[in-house]
């Protein structure tokens, strides 16, 4: 059974700081890994999708890496801004099926002005 | 243009009632999903449909019945609502299961 763990559960940083969010998964037989952000009371916004054949994916100030063999992914946020404050979730296909995503419990990020 | 849209956004109802949540995607995707986010913010799959066919039913009570009239729509009907059904329900879609999933804004269901 796929299990996804995100560390830390919460993170508070001053504006401008670079930061790393961690995600680990127990079953490395995945096709991809996806990072989302969720704002309070809102839906999920897809940030980055990394295919299993890729090691990195970048979008603006965000960089996600994937190490399938060790079951780990990191989301690097450069020069954080107050607008980055949200819950960040990682998700992987699970249970031998790509038709369901297993999510971590998320990291609640607060960027202080 | 909203890619995945759900209605209603909020739903407050009494125990025992029957309610429906509608979901539509205009992305041309062939796979749609329902997820439930509980009070602890944990997201869990409920159903997956591919080309209108049920693929995943993740041990959801029979009171929940999804219906996919076409590839662009996946509605969720809930019978005999219980207090424990209170949660946020998210619809999502992707083009084949291996690709990026897009989520709707969620429907916050409160059963009183």
- Angstrom CA distances, B19 to A74, B47, B69, B82, B111, stand at 40, 17, 17, 11, 11
Range in B28-32, B95-99, B100-104 with the lowest mean pLDDT: B95-99
- B43/A89 CB distance under 8 A: yes
Q: Is A26:A2 a contact under the CB 8 Å cutoff?
A: yes
- A4-31 pLDDT per residue, tens: 999 999 999 999 999 999 999 998 888 8
- A44-70 pLDDT per residue, tens: 999 999 988 899 999 999 999 999 999
Chain A: closest CA distance from residue B29 (Å): 13
Whether the CB of B38 is below 8 Å from some CB of chain A: the reply is no
The average pLDDT across B68-85 equals 96
Whether the CB of A12 is below 8 Å from some CB of chain B: the reply is no
How many other C-beta atoms lie within 10 A of the C-beta of residue A53? 9
Whether the CB of A55 is below 8 Å from some CB of chain B: the reply is no
Contacts of B96 in chain A (CB under 8 A): 98
How far apart (Å, rounded) are the C-alpha atoms in residues B30 and A86?
A: 30
pLDDT at A31: 85
Q: Is B22:B75 a contact under the CB 8 Å cutoff?
A: yes
Q: Is A79:A18 a contact under the CB 8 Å cutoff?
A: yes
Average pLDDT over chain B reads: 93
pLDDT at B99: 80
Q: What is the DSSP string of B8-44?
A: -SEEEE-TT--EEEEEEE-S--SEEEEEEE-TT--EE
pLDDT of A95 over the 80 cut: no
pLDDT at B40: 84
Q: CA angle B15-B18-B23, nearest 5°?
A: 120
- Angstrom CA distances, A60 to A48, A50, B86, stand at 11, 15, 37
Q: What is the CA radius of gyration of chain A?
A: 13
Contacts of A105 in chain B (CB under 8 A): 40-42
Contacts of B56 in chain A (CB under 8 A): 97, 99-100
pLDDT at A46: 95
Whether the CB of A98 is below 8 Å from some CB of chain B: the reply is yes
- A63-77 pLDDT per residue, tens: 999 999 999 999 999
């Amino acid at each position: 059974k796929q299990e996804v763990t995100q560390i830390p559960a919460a993170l508070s940083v001053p504006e401008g700081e670079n930061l790393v969010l961690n995600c680990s998964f127990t079953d490395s037989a995945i096709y991809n890994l996806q990072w989302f952000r969720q704002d309070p009371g809102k839906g999920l916004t897809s940030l980055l999708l990394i295919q299993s054949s890729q090691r990195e994916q970048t979008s603006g100030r965000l960089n996600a890496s994937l190490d399938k063999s060790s079951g780990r992914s990191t989301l690097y946020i450069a020069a954080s801004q107050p607008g980055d404050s949200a819950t960040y979730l990682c998700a992987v296909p699970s249970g031998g099926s790509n038709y369901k995503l297993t999510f971590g419990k998320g990291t609640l990020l607060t960027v202080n002005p | 243009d909203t890619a995945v849209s759900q209605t209603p956004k909020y739903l407050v109802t009494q125990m025992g009632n029957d309610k429906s949540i509608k979901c539509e995607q205009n992305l041309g995707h062939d796979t749609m999903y329902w997820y439930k986010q509980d009070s602890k913010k944990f997201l869990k799959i409920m159903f997956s449909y591919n080309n209108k066919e049920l693929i995943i039913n993740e041990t959801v009570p029979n009171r929940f019945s999804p219906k996919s009239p076409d590839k662009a729509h996946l509605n969720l009907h809930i019978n005999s609502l219980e207090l424990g059904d209170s949660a946020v329900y998210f619809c999502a879609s992707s083009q084949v299961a291996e690709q990026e999933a897009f989520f709707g804004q969620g429907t916050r269901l409160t059963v009183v």
